[in-house]
Structure 1
Amino acid sequence: MNRKWTDHNKALQMIRDILMYMDRTYIPSTQKTPVHELGLNLWRDNIIRSSKIQTRLLNTLLELVLRERTGEVINRGLMRNIIKMLMDLGPSVYQEDFENPFLEVSAEFYRGESQKFIECCDCGDYLKKAERRLKRNWIG
């Protein structure tokens, strides 16, 4: 998907360059959607929000997050590019298609992890582990 997104953006840039005059003169006077925005909307509606891809993409991203949290090495560059793609498609796409489910899964994961750890360790160890987790998630 990452490669296809890159190809789509290159093609969209070429189309935008070819239709630059139309974008600058006709579009503002008729209040139509600019070419670049139309291209992003097409990708969003036909690819990202297609029934076959949307669920699979979300599940793959959440699985990668879980794998990293449990110590596996993942391709962070690929994940970063996919997240950036969602953000490029608009804040609502990122929030609805990734952020909200991500926050729900994260809360569930950390609730379970903290419950397990607090049952077997004292308060000091629990706080140290929580601090390590925070540092790893925000800095590392």
Structure 2
Amino acid sequence: MSEMHTLHVFCLFDEQFVLVQALLCSSSNLNLTVTAILLKMYLNLPFLSQFFLLTVVVKAVSDLCLHKMGGNLYQRIQQECERHISAKLQSLVGQSLDLVVFLSMVEKCWQDFCDQMLMIRGIALYLDRTHVKQTPNVRSLWDMGLQLFRKHLSLSPEVERKIVTGLLELIERERLGEAIDRTVLGHLLKMFTALGTYAETFEKPFLERTSDFYASEGLKYIQQWDVSDYLKHVEMRLCEEHERCTLYLDANTRKPLVTTTEKQLLERHTSTILDKGFTMLMDLKSVDDLKGCIPFLLE
């Protein structure tokens, strides 16, 4: 009668070992134990040791799949990934009140997750190419990881809310002239895009915040400045928003963002612009100043 043997694949997540166990039916009495050290500890090993460990683990994964144990291995990897992802996101609850520091912590968590899932996918590539492709409704290891991250982020509403609040705060600081870390901003926005939650989680409150910001700014400056200076300011703001779309916002945000900005800075103040001197600008043929109004007037 065959014995049940256990394959132990140890994956390192931030200095901690995560045990992924898969049961292997075999007619021999051999206990197969394979240890793979990944990420930080793995990278500290000599090159030959890294190569040896990866070779052994990749071979073990393919053997499991050939013995029809791919489903069991997939479930074990999924369980351990979920346990780790849940713990990592929960560890962010109640962290730094400084939003910039907090966003940096989230960025590190996300980058580590990506590195770890890429490593797991690399050593279990045979599993992805056989069991996953041959089994309906089973996600690739990468997509499985994203689904778990999305799930547990939604189960940590405090963390998700704090991320969005921090991102909106950074963008508002930039609009007010402060230098910000665009790298962190870009990475976290790409995180929401990868998770498939960008539009609902970030874009919606971002456009609302943008509308409020420019509504307030428009009311202030339309009263203080003459038409020429105001239109130059509007043109500058529109250029800045286009630049944000190029640097870190999702490309699909460009149209609603520009529309929102134009509505609050131009459309709401049409009468005032006309009353304060638009006709004068036309009479003086002030082409440069009129350019700022052309897109709005053509709508």
Structure 2 counterpart SS, 1:73: coil
Distance 1:48 1:3, change over 3 A: farther
Output the TM-score relative to the length of structure 2: 0.44
Q: Structure 2 matches for 1:7-18, cutoff 5 A?
A: 7-18=112-123
Structure 1 counterpart SS, 2:180: coil
Computing the radius of gyration from Cα coordinates, the structure with the larger value is: 2
Residue-by-residue CA offset, 1:82-126 (whole Å, 9 max, x unaligned): 111111222xx1111111110111011111111111122222221
Q: Which residue of 2 aligns with 1:69?
A: 175
Q: Which residue of 1 aligns with 2:74?
A: none
Tell me, in whole angstroms, the C-alpha distance in 2 between the residues paired with 1:124 and 1:49.
51
Residue-by-residue CA offset, 1:9-55 (whole Å, 9 max, x unaligned): 11101211222122111112221111110101111121365212111
Alignment partner of 1:87 is 2:199: no
My pick for the range that moved more, 93-102 or 20-29, is 20-29
Alignment partner of 1:78 is 2:184: yes
Higher RCO (CA < 8 A, seq sep 6+): 1
Give the structure with the larger helix fraction. Answer: 1
Tell me, in whole angstroms, the C-alpha distance in 1 between the residues paired with 2:228 and 2:215.
18
After the TM superposition, which segments of 4 or more aligned residues of structure 1 sit over 6 Å from their partners?
Answer: none
Q: Which residue of 1 aligns with 2:203?
A: 99
Give the structure with the larger strand fraction. Answer: 2
Tell me, in whole angstroms, the C-alpha distance in 2 between the residues paired with 1:87 and 1:48.
15
Identical residues among aligned pairs (%): 38
Tell me, in whole angstroms, the C-alpha distance in 2 between the residues paired with 1:58 and 1:96.
11
Output the TM-score relative to the length of structure 1: 0.90
Q: How many residues align?
A: 138
Alignment partner of 1:29 is 2:129: no
- The residue type equivalent to 1:85 in the other structure is M
Q: Which residue of 1 aligns with 2:260?
A: none
Distance 1:130 1:49, change over 3 A: farther
Q: Structure 2 matches for 1:104-123, cutoff 5 A?
A: 104-123=208-227
Q: Which residue of 1 aligns with 2:292?
A: none
Tell me, in whole angstroms, the C-alpha distance in 2 between the residues paired with 1:63 and 1:127.
26
Tell me, in whole angstroms, the C-alpha distance in 2 between the residues paired with 1:47 and 1:83.
14
Alignment partner of 1:39 is 2:145: yes
Structure 2 counterpart SS, 1:33: coil
Tell me, in whole angstroms, the C-alpha distance in 1 between the residues paired with 2:134 and 2:180.
48
Tell me, in whole angstroms, the C-alpha distance in 1 between the residues paired with 2:241 and 2:126.
46
Q: Structure 2 matches for 1:46-57, cutoff 5 A?
A: 46-47=152-153, 50-57=156-163
Distance 1:75 1:137, change over 3 A: same
Structure 1 unaligned spans of 5+? none
